[in-house]
Amino acid sequence: MFGKDTENNDTVYVGEAEKMFLRLKQHLKDSEYWNDCIAVISKDNLLNKAHVKYLENKFYLLAQSAGRSIVMNSTVPTCPSISEYDEAMLQEFISNAKLLVNTLGYKVFDTIKENTVRYNNKLPYFFIKSVGGADARGLIVPDGFAVLAGSKVASSTVPSMSESLIVLRNSLIEKRNYR
């Protein structure tokens, strides 16, 4: 399940269930920030309980290591022992599921690639220079948008800026100051 917390951070919960509809109803009752749910199933009903527990553990670990979202699971899912054949089959299942989840717009299981973006006259870029002090350049990159080094943010905001954008702006400034 995917959502945002009160500070507008992306959140994810990785879980398994035998009766999915009942489990979803329980989660929606317990939390106010789930917006979307993606259910990963086998069309041929080939997954047994050990397979599902294995997948839950691996997807949880992928989400944790990617660091793109706050993983909301209260415990680390256990990883059962399975055969080498089953593990190979499930690794292919994971690869296909990641592709589908990414296509739906959730890159929660992929790490952000550390790319060095160099300014180059051939690449289109965006820029802003304002009286408020903003002086920045950026590029569209495969993972979204990259603000180029040396860019400066405006010293203040305008009264019409929404509270959620102010919170996002402040968190980005704070993250930048810690680097």
- How far apart CA 46 and CA 29 sit, in angstroms, is 31
**101 or 168: which carries more pLDDT confidence?**
101
102-152 confidence digits (pLDDT tens): 889 898 998 876 544 555 566 778 999 988 889 998 888 777 787 888 888
Question: How far is it, in rounded angstroms, from Cα 104 to Cα 22?
Answer: 24
Mean of the pLDDT values across residues 90-105? 93
List beta partners, residue 87: none
Looking at residue 83, what is its pLDDT?
A: 96
Sheet of strand 135-141: strand arrangement: 126-129, 135-141, 144-147
Q: Looking at per-residue confidence, does 178 or 102 come out higher? A: 102
pLDDT at 121: 60
pTM for the complete prediction? 0.71
Q: Domain coordinates of the chain in residue numbers?
A: 2-103, 126-178
pLDDT at 33 over 90: no
